Amino acid sequence: MTARSPNLGTSASAPHDILPALLAKPHALVMGVLNVTPDSFSDGGRFLDPTTALAQAERMVAEGADILDVGAESTRPYGSVRISEEDELARLRPILPALTRLGVPISIDTMKAGVAAWALDQGAAIANDVWGLHRDPAMARLAAARGVPVVVMHNRDAADPAIDIMDDIAAFFTRSLAIADEAGLPRERIVLDPGIGFGKTAEQSMIALARLGELGRFGLPILVGASRKRFIASISPSEPDQRIGGSLAAHLIAVQNGARIIRAHDVHETVQALRVAAAIGDKR
């Protein structure tokens, strides 16, 4: 099915101050993951039912999520199947309007500008593009027209163990920012995500976390989503739901290295770990 051109529109009530308000909080932000898909690598199918999905969203908000990130197309780094825009929207329609009434900003996790436009019409406040504005040329124009923040994630079609992954990430983000600039999307509405697990070997994912501070050259907030990723199993063999400890370790290091937003499946544990680490740090 051919995707329709999104209605870029404009919004007089666009939440221009959402990102600065979030980043003004004195702690690292936690973005709770809600996958309304049958094939997510971590929780595929668990939250496909709208009632179950809403209950999970309410639970994450109660546990301290600052943002909810909802996605209706699996973007898992290996074995995901592309779906049409209509199929993606069909999964979102029963749940997204209710999510916008939970009191925290909603991020729409999609690589399709048409889906993002619909979600923004329903009250979503952030666009999360796992292809960093590179795949759908309308995504940057949409965000610019609507005045919303965008998460720009690094991605590759395939991992290449021979490359310097930090050089590749930097070059990718440089192109993303050029696309944004051409579309009139201000830098102050952009968040960078190194894309842990996407188009990277396990070693490269760990390098990206260890050298995260190098991305400070861009002067933009950094989001990290290492939650339950497969690189953890390369160190400690485990299934996705057995990787909470590894996820917390990776996220604590990410915050130490400059991350301001952590995207996580296990919100309670992540919030607790970040708060305890911050409290201990304050005693220095």
Q: Which of 231, 268, 283, 220 is nearest to 253 (CA)?
A: 231
Q: How far lies 238's CA from each of 5, 38, 72, 83, 230, in Å?
A: 42, 21, 26, 29, 9
Strands of the chain (E only): list them: 29-35, 67-71, 106-109, 126-129, 150-153, 190-193, 223-224, 261-264
Q: Are 20 and 267 in contact (CB under 8 A)?
A: no
**Which is catalytic among the residues 76, 141, 228, 229?**
229
- Residue 32 and residue 265: Cα distance in Å, rounded? 6
Q: Are 113 and 135 in contact (CB under 8 A)?
A: no
Q: Is 230 a catalytic residue?
A: no
Q: Which of 77, 108, 75, 73 is nearest to 87 (CA)?
A: 73
**Which is catalytic among the residues 146, 156, 243, 263?**
263
Q: Is 229 a catalytic residue?
A: yes
Q: Are 179 and 140 in contact (CB under 8 A)?
A: yes
Tokens of 35: 């996958």
- Residue 282 and residue 238: Cα distance in Å, rounded? 33
Catalytic residue numbers? 229, 263
